[in-house]
Amino acid sequence: AGQPTTATISADKPGPVYDKLIFTQFAEHLGNGIYGGLWVGNDKSIPNTNGFRNDVVSALRKLSVPVIRWPGGCFADEYHWREGIGPKAQRPVKVNTHWGGVTEPNTVGTHEFFELLRQVGAEAYIAGNVGSGTPQEMAEWVEYMTAPAGSLAELRAKNGRKEPWSVPYFGVGNELWGCGGNMRPEFAADETRRYATFIKAPAGTRIMKIAAGANVDDTNWTDAMMRVAGPMLDGVSLHYYVHPAGGWPPRAPAVDFDEHGWADALAGARRMDDLITKHSAVMDKYDPEKRIFLAVDEWGAWYAQDPGTKPGFLRQQNTLRDALIASIHLDTFARHADRVRMSAIAQMVNVLQAMILTDGPKMVLTPTYHVFEMYKPWQDATVLPIDIETPQYTKDEFTMPAVSGSAVRSRDGRVHVGLSNLDPNQSNTVTIKLDGVNAKGVSGRVLTAPAINSHNTFDKPEVVKPAAFSGARLQGDQLVVTLPAKSVVVLELQ
């Protein structure tokens, strides 16, 4: 039944490593992304460890989050790190001018962020303040965090942390073309050179510097950044959000959509492939060896805020459609793993396409969370080329290949295959030729749900969750998989 698709996995022609940094998470001081979602401080009614809620941290640990990007986003270019250290009662209360105009108590600062990293088991990707800070302020923050000795190291020790922290990744501002300072590309690239000069790692350590990259298809920005600042950089970022219903400002509802909205969003997710191809081509001009990586450090669906939620908090529900948006992106990054070595979905908790939603003491895992959990074997695995011949799925003006997929060999030698059926109406039987795979068995899990907009709520948290999958079988050197309509399937070959 349903549509037929054929594919070949060339395990005998292994590709690049699927860097685990592609599973980086992003936590901004925005809405309940930090306060309420991660940090509950002294609120004894929500079980926590040193202020961070145990339920959320434990769920994040199960994703093996490698890195967390913080404190923004747009917030980063107005954040002054000195306001977030020392006794909490003495920290200034500011206004979060970007996000809802609410007060920012500075309760979560540098020390608290590193405590979160310790609990989650992740590493730091700090976004520095270029837009409204100075090179000196940025340099001193780096020194405060990483220096083994000196007055800033002593101040750090006085504030409770003697040993330096490790800061492997540092962002030189954020969206300098917009909220980070409304700069023109050449100016931003010059500023990036200037600020990057003062980001200094102590002897024996390394800080990878990532430039604030382009918006969507602005390859002119990538060109200027690579040409002017490339030699000083390790990575250049790219931001692209899926905005169904006509782009900016976000107006599509997160839940109350029909098949038109489904197809619109999935076509938007497929666009990431083309964007990476274009930006990579520009990067190739200056860096054919691909020394500098592309960090797609903001991606995901951005809808209208859920009705009744606070303005500027970017709170949105997450449906089966978001699961497919996530799997399409993760497959896309596999095709570009030679250049894309980091990505960060926006954002980790309670904001935009989140892993986790909370409300007071309640917590629920989203369909997107489940995709990230199912794709865990991709972390640091070797990409195996997969060539897919699939019919098109069409709805109104949107047309796209019906099946998305990627394959990897994990470090334990096992082959993992991810396949998503974008068609919400028909199953799809995929016959995959396995070149260079000696498989004796196959097992898998599937994520699907009754409706395209099925989602998890605090009252019904398990409407969309992975289940055992029995629709795959080995037939000689072929793998035959029947994908249910609107599903994400992840298989492991034994």
Query: Distance between CA 220 and CA 197 in Å, rounded?
Result: 23
66: its two tokens: 């490698």
Contacting ligand AHR (CB under 6 A), which of 51, 73, 230, 484?
73
How far is 114 from 71, CA to CA, in rounded Å?
12
Q: Is 28 in the site for ligand AHR (CB under 6 A)?
A: yes
Residue tagged active-site, from 115, 140, 143, 175: 175
- Of 5, 129, 174, 456, which one interacts with ligand AHR (CB under 6 A)? 174
Part of the chain binding ligand AHR (CB under 6 A), chosen from 44-52, 68-76, 152-160, 335-343: 68-76
| Residues of span 317-376 touching ligand AHR by CB under 6 A | 346-347, 352
**Binding segment toward ligand AHR, per CB under 6 A, in 57-65, 69-77, 162-170, 479-487:** 69-77
Residue with smaller CB distance to ligand AHR, 77 or 287:
77
Nearest-5° Cα angle at 186, 184 to 192: 100
- Which CB sits closer to ligand AHR, 325 or 400? 325
Residues 106 and 403: their CA atoms lie apart, in Å, by 45
Across 109-233, where does the E strand assignment appear?
Answer: 123-127, 169-172, 208-215
**For residues 222 and 230, what is the distance between their CA atoms, to the nearest angstrom?**
10
Q: Which of 68, 74, 326, 384 binds ligand AHR (CB under 6 A)?
A: 74
Residue in 264, 287, 298, 373 binding ligand AHR, rule: CB under 6 A: 298
Q: Total residues at the site for ligand AHR (CB under 6 A)?
A: 10
Adjacent-strand bridge partners of 61 = none
CB of 306 to ligand AHR, least distance (A): 16
Instruction: Tell me if 126 contacts ligand AHR by CB under 6 A.
Output: no
Q: Does 218 bind ligand AHR (CB under 6 A)?
A: no
Burial of 171 (0-12, 13-18, 19+ CB in 10 A): buried
Instruction: For residue 314, give Cα distances in angstroms to 114, 248, 344.
Output: 25, 14, 17
| Cis peptide bond N-terminal to 249, omega within 30 | yes
Out of 104, 112, 298, 373, which one is annotated catalytic? 298
Question: What is the nearest approach in angstroms of ligand AHR to the Cβ of residue 288?
Answer: 29
Quick one: tokens of 248? Answer: 């900016």
Whose Cβ is closer to ligand AHR: residue 14's or residue 178's?
178
CA 139 to CA 159: how far, in whole Å? 19
72-80, 156-164, 401-409, 484-492 -> range binding ligand AHR (CB under 6 A):
72-80
Q: Which is nearer to ligand AHR, 218 or 298 (CB)?
A: 298
Q: Tell the burial category of 478 from Cβ atoms under 10 Å away from its Cβ (0-12, 13-18, 19+).
A: middle
For ligand AHR, which is the closer residue by CB, 346 or 364?
346
Asked if 192 and 174 touch (Cβ cutoff 8 Å), the reply is: no
> Is 298 assigned a catalytic role?
yes
CB of 392 to ligand AHR, least distance (A): 31
In this chain, which stretch among 41-49, 67-75, 380-388, 440-448 interacts with ligand AHR, using CB under 6 A?
67-75
Exactly one of 143, 175, 218, 264 binds ligand AHR (CB under 6 A); which one? 175
Minimal distance, residue 119 CB to ligand AHR, in Å: 23
Q: Is 175 a catalytic residue?
A: yes
Contact region with ligand AHR (CB under 6 A), list: 45-53, 70-78, 243-251, 451-459: 70-78
**Count of other CB atoms within 10 angstroms of residue 401:** 16
**Considering beta carbons, is residue 299 or 378 the nearer one to ligand AHR?**
299
Determine if residue 225 is left, alpha or beta; phi over 0 gives left, psi from -120 to 50 gives alpha, anything else beta. Answer: alpha
Minimum CB distance to ligand AHR smaller for 237 or for 406: 237
Secondary structure percentages of the chain, helix, strand, coil, to 5 = 30, 30, 45
Determine the Cα–Cα distance for residues 301 and 244; give it in Å rounded to an integer: 8
Long-range contacts of 248-252 (CB under 8 A, 24+ apart): 250/302, 250/303, 250/304, 251/304, 252/303, 252/304
- Closer of 326 and 437 to ligand AHR (Cβ): 326
The verdict on whether omega for the bond into residue 25 sits within 30 degrees of 0, i.e. cis, is: no
The nearer residue to ligand AHR, 240 or 369, going by C-beta atoms, is: 240
Query: Closest CB to ligand AHR belongs to which residue?
Result: 73
Name 212's bridge partners: none
Residue tagged 């901004």 (tokens): 28
**Which secondary structure element, helix H or strand E, spans residue 269, and what is its range?**
helix 259-286
Site string for ligand AHR, 256-295 (x = CB under 6 A): ----------------------------------------
The least CB distance from residue 314 to ligand AHR, in Å, is 6
Token pair belonging to 450: 């009754």
Residue with Cβ nearer ligand AHR (266 or 346): 346
Exactly one of 15, 31, 37, 72 binds ligand AHR (CB under 6 A); that residue is 72
User: 166: exposed, middle or buried (C-beta count within 10 Å: 0-12, 13-18, 19+)?
Assistant: middle
Q: Which residues does the annotation mark as catalytic? A: 175, 298
Q: Give the binding site for ligand AHR (CB under 6 A).
A: 28, 72-74, 174-175, 298, 346-347, 352
